[in-house]
Every structure is written in structure tokens, then in C-alpha cells.
Amino acid sequence: MSKTPEASVVAAAGELDLAVSDRLTALLDREVRAMPPALLFDATAVTFCAARVLTVLLDTTADASVLGVPFAVAGRSRALLRPVTVLRLEQVLPIHEDTDEALAWLGLLPRLTEPV
């Protein structure tokens, strides 16, 4: 995990399966409740993603929204995109090509949601 002035970044690598889902839940929950300017989950080095982990990411998306913390996922690998596509979650789980793209989107998001 790293922190920048723009966001807290939680990075994962390898297989995201049931064995890590509880730890990932706790880590993302702690980070979103710390109310950073934005939260980014970096999955660019993920080689496998279990459905349970998608649930964790969806829960984080919902929790972040309630708390007003912009949240995004970076990493459009087959391991992540395949289950997202099969489950038709593209519209509710913000997944970006890489961390630079995700951070740029997170920076724009508050301006896109401001009332005019």
C-alpha cells in the first residue's frame, strides 16, 4: 500500500482467491474508512481473480460511494476482466487500463459529480 496526496493505492499481485479475500476486505475497508481523497486498487499484476474478490471490490465501491471517497480499480488483465465481463459488472466496477489512467479518472470524478 502507498499513499500520495491524490489517493491511497492498495496493490495486489498473483492470485486473488478465497485465501486472501478476508485480508483484502479488511485492508480495503480500513482504507476507505480513513477517508482518503481517493482509493485505488491496483490489480495490474493479478493473475487470477475469484468471484469472492469481485464481491469485495463491489462492496468497496458501494462503501466508498456512501462515504464520498472516489474508488477505482486499475488493471485490465484477462484474469480480472473475464469474470467482470461474464458477470456483466462493467457498469458498476470502475476498471481502468493502468494506475495512471485510474488516477487521472479519480482526479476528474469530483468535478464530474459537482452540481452545476
What are the CB-based long-range contacts (under 8 Å, 24+) for 108-112? 109/38, 109/70, 110/70
What's the pLDDT tens digit per position in 17-49?
999 999 999 999 999 999 999 999 999 999 999
CB atoms within 10 A of CB 77: 15
Question: Average model confidence (pLDDT) for the chain?
Answer: 89
When divided into structural domains, the chain yields a total of 1
Rounded Cα–Cα distance for residues 41 and 111 (Å):
21
Q: How far is CA 73 from CA 35, 62, 76, 115, in A?
A: 17, 13, 9, 25
Domain carrying residue 27: 2-113
Task: Evaluate if residue 109 carries a pLDDT over 70.
Answer: no
Q: What is the model's pLDDT at position 32?
A: 97
pLDDT (average), residues 89-103 = 89
- The enclosing domain of 47 has a CATH number of 3.30.750.24
